[in-house]
Amino acid sequence: MFAWPAILSNISVPLLGLVDSGVLGHLSSEIYLGGVAIGSTLFTLVFWAFGFLRMGTTGLVAQALGQKDHQATRQWLAQSVLLALLIGFVVILIHRPLLNIALPFFNPAAEVAEQARIYFTTRIYSAPAVLINYAMVGWLIGMHRPKGPLLILITANLVNIVLDLIFVLGLDMATQGAALATVIADYTSLLLGIWVVKRTLLNKPGTFERSAILNLSSMRQLLLLNRHLFVRTLCLLGTQAFFTAQGAQSGSHILAANALLLNILLLISNGLDGFAHAAEALSGEALGQGKLDRFKQVVRVTGYCSLICAVLFLILFSLLGNQVIGLLTDIPAVAATAAEYLPWLAAMPLFAVWCYWLDGVFIGAVRTDMMQNTMLVATLLVFLPIWYFTRDMGNHGLWLAYSAFMLARSAGLAIVYRSLSRSGSWLVEDRSECVGKC
């Protein structure tokens, strides 16, 4: 019962990207789709680098809830929101230098680069809303309120879809219209999120204490616990940016085709992440209560459910992948190119399901150090070497390297999980000890 709202809310996020791709994919030129692909990647790089505001908050809140420390659940919420607000304003201040540094990395054609610039410089103003939403969604998941994120994300995405159609197709605003629609949707979700969080707190004991919220020692603890998530996310986003950049250097049609397939992959990964979110909240609560048997039961059940979901995605896109591509674009070269690489996408759920699921387990356990280390190995010792030695395979080599990257993440986390289970190291009595290790 916990997972299905998380699955629906997660799927609503990439559906937004698919609508953007579908609307722009039916315009007269592929430069719009290519520009938004690069702009979205840059946007994702900037904001998901701070994904710890969601993931770290969930683990901390879930364990505090298991310990029935209601004051701590309020403190983690307030500190995460405050940190998100500060980061959001800083990102807006420095976004132009960031764009000037990052855009040449993709080496796009001039007209594609211009569309990417338009998209990024418009959408960046949603920074505070996006990051505060990360913190609130993470808090709601940790509090076992998955219907809250479902309501927030579906409402925001409906707003975005409607405005996409109005701005892009109705008002002929193209790339800027797609970006503006997302900005408005992000602030809509912020207002709705504040309302949902406020209602959740009505029946919860505790108060917001200014001294606790502004306590530098406590804020330092939050940052220490999440520094590994920051490095881990940078590796993941760097890999995805590298993937997009290599596609861009292969031509606009490869770039656009990869963008379509990656948006579909985002749909798959967010669907699988529903069970990861359940693992985060439930495993964190079990460890907070000191119930190791309950923790192992949560891991086992969410693992089985994740595998079933991955197999269903495999079957779905093996049978209907070409039809999905046809819905997203009517540009013949882009559709044909996407169909050529579709088998890689169809197989990806079985490669990636394990790392998505185990990420949830390690977030709930607040063992973010292990997530960082396995990600570094997968990026530096698997993805980059395989890409380098398969460059003659072109885009197929790129997809092979990305598939191996997902498998390496999965294998690394599985090995660490087995090691910690054998040594009985999941329960940490002293939270300060965890801060030092995690």
- Cβ contacts of residue 164 below 8 Å, gap of 6+? 19, 20, 23, 177, 178, 181
> Amino acid identity, residue 428?
V
Residue with structure tokens 């616990």?
A: 225
CB 84 within 8 A of CB 186: no
Secondary structure, 3-state, 373-396: HHHHHHHHHHHHHHHHHCHHHCHH
pLDDT score recorded for residue 79: 86
> Amino acid identity, residue 140?
L
Helix (H) or strand (E) holding 219: helix 216-249
Helix, strand and coil percent figures for the chain, each rounded to 5 = 85, 0, 15
Phi/psi-derived region of residue 427, left when phi > 0, alpha when psi is between -120 and 50, beta in every other case: beta
Phi/psi-derived region of residue 109, left when phi > 0, alpha when psi is between -120 and 50, beta in every other case: beta
- Cβ contacts of residue 381 below 8 Å, gap of 6+? 408
Q: Indicate the Cα dihedral angle 101, 27, 329, 34, nearest 10°.
A: -10
CB 68 within 8 A of CB 206: no
211, burial (CB in 10 Å: exposed 0-12, middle 13-18, buried 19+): exposed
Q: What is the DSSP letter of 26?
A: T
pTM for this structure?
Answer: 0.71
> Amino acid identity, residue 308?
I
Q: How far is CA 331 from the centre of its chain?
A: 29
Q: How far apart are CA 196 and CA 191, in angstroms?
A: 9
pLDDT score recorded for residue 435: 41
pLDDT tens for each residue of the chain, 438 residues long = 555 555 555 555 555 555 666 666 656 566 766 777 777 777 777 777 787 787 778 877 887 888 788 888 888 888 889 889 999 999 999 988 888 887 877 767 777 778 788 888 888 888 899 899 888 988 888 887 877 887 888 888 888 888 888 887 778 777 778 888 888 988 998 999 999 999 888 877 767 777 767 777 667 767 776 788 888 888 888 888 788 788 777 777 888 888 788 878 877 887 787 788 788 878 888 888 888 888 899 899 989 988 998 999 999 989 988 888 887 777 788 888 989 999 999 999 999 999 989 998 998 887 888 888 999 999 999 999 999 999 999 899 999 999 999 999 999 999 999 998 888 777 754 443 444 344
Q: How far apart are CA 60 and CA 368, in angstroms?
A: 11
The candidate with the shortest Cα–Cα distance to 53, out of 196, 208, 233, 274, is 233
The candidate with the shortest Cα–Cα distance to 233, out of 23, 437, 52, 433, is 52
pLDDT score recorded for residue 431: 41
Listed in sequence order, the DSSP H helices in 25-123 are 31-48, 52-66, 70-93, 95-106, 110-123
